[in-house]
Structure 1
Amino acid sequence: MKIGVDATGVFGPKTGIEHYIVHITKHLLEIDHRNEYTIYCRNEIPSELEPRAKNVLFKVLEFRNRKIFQQTHLPIMNTCDKIDLMFFPGNSFSLFCPCKFILTIHDIFPYVIADYLPKYNSDAHIDRVNTYYWKGMSRWGCSKSNKVIAVSESTKNDIVRVFSADHDKISVVHEAVTGSFHPVRNENRLNEFKKKYALPEKYVLCVGTGTHKNVQGSIKAFQKLKKQKRSTLKLIITGSKSNIRNEVLDLIQTTKIQNQVMLWGYFPAKDLNLLFNTAELLLFPSFYEGFGLPVLEAFAVINEIGASS
């Protein structure tokens, strides 16, 4: 059988879904040496997918707009490559996929959180378009795919409840922590890591800046923690800076903790384990998660976690 994998979502800094795409593809190729695989990549082959097995063909593609590519060029390539089964591991798929396909849905939070959609203005227009696109992908994917993978029972229940999807069509395959997350006891290594990134001596970590991640909640919890312990703690917020809304910046200003909050942006994936190891606490008061992998990653290395139930 010829199996295709859409890995074109892996491009630039990796978020949770990009890490999922890379690692599920990596382990799939490690255990299956019988079927033939064609992996569609954007611009380059992810380093995690080396070395190449004999039954694997990588196709490196260059394009500007992934949505247009996925809906136009990819189905044509699937036909030319005589793909029997496509695997779309990143929430979206080709509407005109010429063969059977499996889709992973990580969450459907735009449907679950009513106020997620930003109010219309020029800055929010792209967010609004993207949100409608991903909402359509989730709903149509449940009806058009031959099989749906949900990353948790919670996600499966949401899909069935919101889309009235066929319960038997959805299989739950839980996410897991990679071996790169583990306790580090070498103090010299930890100190060198802090010096490398000019990190504070003690800090609380907040991972993710999407609206559903409740960054405001992390800031408020951090402020209370500071008042209780009167410590020199700092707050480090990692994730896309473009997702940080004015409400978050205003809250930082009004609480007068500008000098105690670091908006880091994306942190290099190779050093995430050390970032977790040197943190005093992970704050994760998310409104909604399909799985909530950062909590498991923190459990592997941190003793204290503050999360929403």
Structure 2
Amino acid sequence: MRIALNARILQSPRTGIGHYVAELASALVTEQGLELSLFHGWGWSPELPAAAMPGYSRLAPWLRQIPGAYQARRWLEQRRFDQGQHEAIDLYHEPSLWPLEFEGPTVMTLHDLTHLHYPSTQPPARLKEIERRLGAGVEQARLILTDSQFIADEAQDYFGLPRDRFVVAPLGVAPRFHPREHTELEYSLAAHGLQPQGYFLCVGTLEPRKNLSQALQAHELLPPALRQRYPLLIVGMAGWEQGQFSDTLQKALASGHVRLLGYLPDEQVAQLVAGARALIFPSLYEGFGLPVLEAMASGTPVVVTRRSAMPEVAGVAGNYVEPGDVLGLNNTLLRLIDDEPHWQACREAGLQQAGLFSWRHCAQITARTYRQAIGG
């Protein structure tokens, strides 16, 4: 069974969907009777790229400004996709929003419906393409994979499709996310002037949907001595129209108790996650919430909102806060600082919860879905 997997997103620095493609492709290699052929946008390869295309982060914003850039790239990718099919492809898997045209069976992954709830997080040209193509892509797909039951239910209602068109394949956690001894972290954390368990962490693309302002305000309410002892670190790429909370962020950065580290290599992120006192993830909407799972697997307690798919991921291990409840989040942070038995209980519960997820299991469900789609 030869599967064409669209891996074009790996041209860019890896965030959520990029990590999904890379980890899933690596896990699918162990599935018997399955051969992957990866389409990289310009050609085909059986291998994952080791890194993003050089200069992509600088080039992509300029390309967005060119009228018709999305349509032109789409046309070129379709031509390259068609020309590269030297051997018969049994099934095409599109891991993002809209599949390329393919005459055989198609499976797509629908991670979320962010463009419906938070259209301002998308560049206008991209949003227009999503609105124009997503419906047709969903119709093209014989089966639709989702990361969570929440998204499966939401998409079923929105598109009016039968339940049996959707398959839930929860994501997994990469091996680099695991508990680490303090001695293993001291050197890397010292480069940032940090100590293990001596800071709070936010991870994710900087955009209003992530509700970063609530984390900033709750951290600001900590007593000055605690803000100094437990600074707030923010790791992630700049998102579209992040200026909606730039004033709050700029004030927090000026205080010296909040640090914006930007996009970091995977191993550095894993070390920062393992060394944090807690991950603060007060997002308003998630199709899964991969940083939550990664933090739990690292032995780091998580603070999340009881919204969208996050309860499916955090389970009983989550410290839940309501969106907009700054005081409630502040009290949660204080407890994670002061109440050591509670911190230890959150750590153990998180490790147990994370053990329920794996890329191996995700790959098994995905391969089973391929076979079902091919079978008709």
TM-score > 0.5, shorter chain as reference: yes
Partner of residue 117 from structure 1, selected from 112, 116, 119: 119
Residue 297 of structure 2: aligned partner: 300
Structure 2 distance, partners of 1:136, 1:226, is 50
Establish whether residue 72 from structure 1 lines up as the match of residue 78 from structure 2.
yes
Residue 113 of structure 2: aligned partner: 108
Structure 1 distance, partners of 2:248, 2:31, is 49
- Give SS of 1:31's match: coil
Identity score, percent: 24
Structure 1 distance, partners of 2:177, 2:92, is 30
Query: How many residue pairs get matched?
Result: 283
Partner of residue 205 from structure 1, selected from 186, 201, 207: 201
Partner of residue 99 from structure 1, selected from 91, 100, 104: 104
Q: Answer 1 or 2: which has greater helix percent.
A: 2
Residue 193 of structure 1: aligned partner: 188
Stretch moving more, 72-81 or 174-183 = 72-81
Stretch moving more, 130-139 or 141-150 = 130-139
Q: What CA deviation, in whole Å up to 9, does each residue of 1:181-231 have, x standing for no partner?
A: 11001x3321111134x2434321111123321121221222223569454
Structure 1 distance, partners of 2:255, 2:138, is 44
Q: Is the 8 A contact 1:143 1:165 kept in 2?
A: no
Letter in 2 for 1:132: K
Letter in 1 for 2:114: F
Letter in 2 for 1:220: Q
Q: Answer 1 or 2: which has greater strand percent.
A: 1
Alpha-carbon spacing, 1:137–1:291, altered in 2? closer, same or farther (3 Å):
farther
- Give SS of 2:39's match: strand
Q: Is the 8 A contact 2:214 2:282 kept in 1?
A: yes
Residue 46 of structure 1: aligned partner: 48
- Give SS of 1:184's match: coil
Using the size of structure 1 for normalisation, the TM-score is 0.81
Structure 2 distance, partners of 1:69, 1:270, is 36
Establish whether residue 17 from structure 1 lines up as the match of residue 21 from structure 2.
no
Q: Is the 8 A contact 2:10 2:40 kept in 1?
A: yes
Structure 2 distance, partners of 1:68, 1:195, is 45
Letter in 2 for 1:206: C
Map 1:1-309; keep pairs closer than 5 Å.
Answer: 1-32=1-32, 34-41=33-40, 45-46=47-48, 67-68=73-74, 72-77=78-83, 79-94=85-100, 96-111=101-116, 113=117, 116-118=118-120, 127-185=123-181, 187-196=182-191, 198-201=192-195, 202-208=198-204, 209-226=206-223, 229=226, 231-243=228-240, 245-254=242-251, 257-309=254-306
Alpha-carbon spacing, 1:256–1:91, altered in 2? closer, same or farther (3 Å):
closer
Alpha-carbon spacing, 1:253–1:86, altered in 2? closer, same or farther (3 Å):
closer
Structure 1: stretches of 5+ with no match in the other structure? 50-63, 119-123
Letter in 1 for 2:109: T
Alpha-carbon spacing, 1:227–1:308, altered in 2? closer, same or farther (3 Å):
farther
Structure 2 distance, partners of 1:82, 1:90, is 23
- Give SS of 2:283's match: coil
Using the size of structure 2 for normalisation, the TM-score is 0.67
> Of the two structures, which has the highest relative contact order with CA contacts closer than 8 Å and spacing of 6 or more?
2
Structure 2 distance, partners of 1:106, 1:228, is 41
